[in-house]
Amino acid sequence: MTVRRAHVLGASLCLGLAAATAARAPLDAAMAMAAAAVAGAVVIADGHLRLVGLAAAVALFGWAWGSERLTALDRSVLERQIGTFERALVEVQDDSRSGSYEQRADGLVLRWGGRKVHEPVLLELPLGRSPPRGARLSLLGSLRVPEGPASNGFDEAAWLRHQGIHAVLRVQSWRVVGRRGGVEGVGDRLDRWLAEDSASGLTGDRRAMIEAIVLGRSAGLGQTLLADFQASGLYHCLAVDGLKVTAVGGGVAMLVLLAGLGSYAAQAGALLAVVGYALAVGLHPSVVRATIAAALASLAWLAARQRDRWQALLVGAALLLAWSPYNLFDAGFQLSFAAVPAIFVVTPRVVRFLDGYPVPHGLAQLIGVSTACGLATAPVTWFQFRQISLVTVPANVVGVPIVVEVLSLALVTALVAPVAPPVAGALAQVNGWGASLVALCARAFGGLPGAQITSPAAAAALAACALGVAAYAWLRGGRARPEAGLPADRERPAEGGPGAAAAAGPDR
């Protein structure tokens, strides 16, 4: 990897944005210091010192911007209305999640009583029928304070505040009065299309599994099966991540190429497919990162410019943190931005190590990606969920190809369903067996004795062993490359050719 000026400046911007979560910057002072750093960089002749000055200026600007964004996110109109009971107009932002006593969904309050508002809120709805995503509701409800730290350590108030939510709206009654429009409305329609047609004719567990794989919604799966997915390290298969964005973009590009429409049309089709898929499943951090990477890769190819995957990664991180520095605390953000750099760095070394063994290159790549993701995300899964899977590499080597096939066939089914429902039904029946195989894989690996670590002592021992092995492998790899006559920072080119599919990259 060659460190470029863009990498340094991008990392500096991300660092400044993230610093706002630790301490808010006085706006005037931060901007004055940034201006002074720029002025100093202009007059400095030395190129390295000039870069240091520019990096400092960018970091200070990021700190100032992040501080202002956090101030805006912490500002709440509804917080001052806690305890009141009113009629409200609310947009439902996602599908509801059923609990023991109520169902919950993220909402956007447009009107509270006679006052116009534009503020996110957590909806608590009665059990029973649930409003669809994108619906506008006229409702009666009261506002309450989010709960503080619970006995299990979960702090609802802090978790919601990081999403810009400062009140919980407990709904007494509601009715649908319309739907949102614009780009979000397009995403809602794509979501309904995929939910209805990707598993055409299927019911029960197989339909719930396909819906979880395609749209990242696991509400229809049982708690025991979800625990097996978590223990096996396959839980990311029930969320939308870079792996699925890559599959969508690459699949569309392949179909366009097979139709004989050329590379430019393939890149444009992949870009549109990736953006549409992101709108359909929701703009979660890992989805946004992969979409940005895919979009930059396609645009770079169309403009005949060289791709820079590290720069794409930094652009994704900077945009997410600029929108909300609180994204830094999101588990999806942490998993995604831990896994992808590890894929860049660790995967080529694992593949080189396996070159001397009778392992097909595609399988070696899969082992390398699974190893990289398992190592990089282990600290995140421990601190976020107090769990580390020990079988994640073999489970992903076996399960991920099946997940990709299920996703691909589900999307083909959705495309065929409007024009040939019987064919779509037959495809869905076949795909149902694939979904059952994914569930079987999770049960088989997750049910193994010692499949996961849940004790602090075992986690510490595992971390020490992993660091020792990583240091040994790194030093051995560094010695092997000069002996082979290769540059120390040389890596294999990305598989899959140019464009969105090669750039988005799988992650957790």
Specify if 123 maps to a domain.
yes
Residue 349's nearest CA partner among 480, 496, 495, 485 is 480
CA distance 125 to 123: 6
- Average pLDDT of the segment spanning 78-105: 89
Confidence of residue 181 (pLDDT cuts 50, 70, 90): confident
CA distance 482 to 399: 36
Of 23, 56, 74, at which residue does a domain stop?
74
pLDDT in tens, 320-341: 999 999 999 988 889 888 988 9
Highest mean pLDDT, choosing among 199-213, 254-268, 305-319: 199-213
Of 56, 74, 92, at which residue does a domain stop?
74
Side-chain-facing half-sphere of 375: CA atoms under 13 Å: 22
Long-range contacts of 219-223 (CB under 8 A, 24+ apart): 219/95, 219/97, 219/98
pLDDT in tens, 396-418: 999 999 999 999 999 999 999 99
Gyration radius from the chain CA atoms = 24
Specify if 318 maps to a domain.
no
Specify if 35 maps to a domain.
yes
pLDDT on residue 129: 85
Residue 233: how many other CB atoms lie within 10 Å:
31
Taking the CA atoms of 431, 435, 440 and 445 in sequence, report the sign of the dihedral they define: positive
Q: 120 and 263: one domain? A: no
CA distance 221 to 450: 23
Structural domain containing residue 499: 211-305+372-504
Specify if 336 maps to a domain.
no
pLDDT in tens, 455-481: 777 777 777 777 776 676 666 655 555
Q: Which residues contact 58 (CB under 8 A, 6 or more apart)?
A: 9, 12, 13, 16, 34
Count: domains in the chain: 3
Specify if 194 maps to a domain.
no
Q: 66 and 82: one domain? A: no
Cβ contact 192:418 at 8 Å? no
Q: 17 and 68: one domain? A: yes
Instruction: List 176's β-bridge partners, or say none.
Output: 137
Specify if 33 maps to a domain.
yes
pLDDT on residue 498: 40
- The tokens describing 244, both together, are 């699925």
CA distance 92 to 79: 19
Specify if 29 maps to a domain.
yes
* 3-class secondary structure, 388: strand
Cβ contact 414:427 at 8 Å? no
Cβ contact 338:310 at 8 Å? no
pTM over 0.95: no
The CATH code of the domain that includes 168 is 2.40.50
- Average pLDDT of the segment spanning 17-28: 88
Maximal C-alpha separation, the chain: 75
Q: Which residues contact 278 (CB under 8 A, 6 or more apart)?
A: 245, 287, 288, 291
pLDDT in tens, 365-382: 999 999 999 888 888 888
Q: 254 and 389: one domain? A: yes
Q: 63 and 95: one domain? A: no
Q: 125 and 13: one domain? A: no
Specify if 329 maps to a domain.
no
Residue 507's nearest CA partner among 329, 312, 372, 412 is 372
Q: Which residues contact 330 (CB under 8 A, 6 or more apart)?
A: 162, 285
Side-chain-facing half-sphere of 454: CA atoms under 13 Å: 8
